[in-house]
Amino acid sequence: MIVISDTSVLTNLAGIGHIHLLQQLYEHILIPTAVYQELTVDPPVPGTLEVQTFQWIEVRASSNLTMVEQLQNQAQLDLGESEAIALALEINTDLLLIDERRGRAEANRLGIRITGLLGVLVEAKQRSLIPTVQPLIDYLIARSEFRVSQALYQQILAIVGES
């Protein structure tokens, strides 16, 4: 399975000490160059050490610079999201991990299969890799800039049988 990740899923999972779920679920993750650069700026952010040292996270450059520019200019996506979507199209990825609303909408429009952080947590619970989802979501909300509507929060808990 070919899986590409944007920045937010990596930083949020690293921030709660659960980045290992990506390897357990997908074995290997590709990140575009811009995502690597976002994660390795000073000062370090959650995920910096992981993307520099974990062998199962591979940096891969997008060669479709025209598509990257179009996504930035027309869809108003940041460079990391643009490169992630362009790379997903180039290599016909099986799954793109992305959370930002505009990026998700554009990936959907282009026919790319996506999931986000909450989808990763749901899948991890369904595969018995984590016992519960709610404490992790609550921790994300309390400790990071992670936002989720009350309706989606309740929907996720219902999906995993924690409501």
* Locus of tokens 């890799």: 129
Facing residues of 31 across strands? 59
Residue 41 has a pLDDT of 83
- Give CATH 3.40.50.1010 domain extents, the chain: 3-116
CATH number at 3-116: 3.40.50.1010
**C-alpha to C-alpha distance for 82 and 73, rounded to whole angstroms:** 10
Residue 144 has a pLDDT of 79
**C-alpha to C-alpha distance for 16 and 143, rounded to whole angstroms:** 9
In the three-class reduction of DSSP (H, G, I as helix; E, B as strand; rest coil), residue 95 is classed as strand
CB 89 within 8 A of CB 110: yes
Residue 143 has a pLDDT of 84
Residue 145 has a pLDDT of 76
Residue 146 has a pLDDT of 86
* Locus of tokens 């996720």: 156
Residue 43 has a pLDDT of 78
pLDDT, tens digit, for every residue of 82-131? 999 999 999 999 999 999 999 999 999 999 999 999 999 999 999 999 99
**C-alpha to C-alpha distance for 124 and 66, rounded to whole angstroms:** 36
- The pTM of the full predicted model, rounded to 2 decimals, is 0.93
Facing residues of 97 across strands? 5, 115
Strands 95-97 and 3-5: parallel
Q: Residue 42 above 80 pLDDT?
A: no
Q: What is the DSSP string of 101-163?
A: HHHHHHHHHTT--EE-HHHHHHHHHHTTSSS-SHHHHHHHHHHSS----HHHHHHHHHHTT--
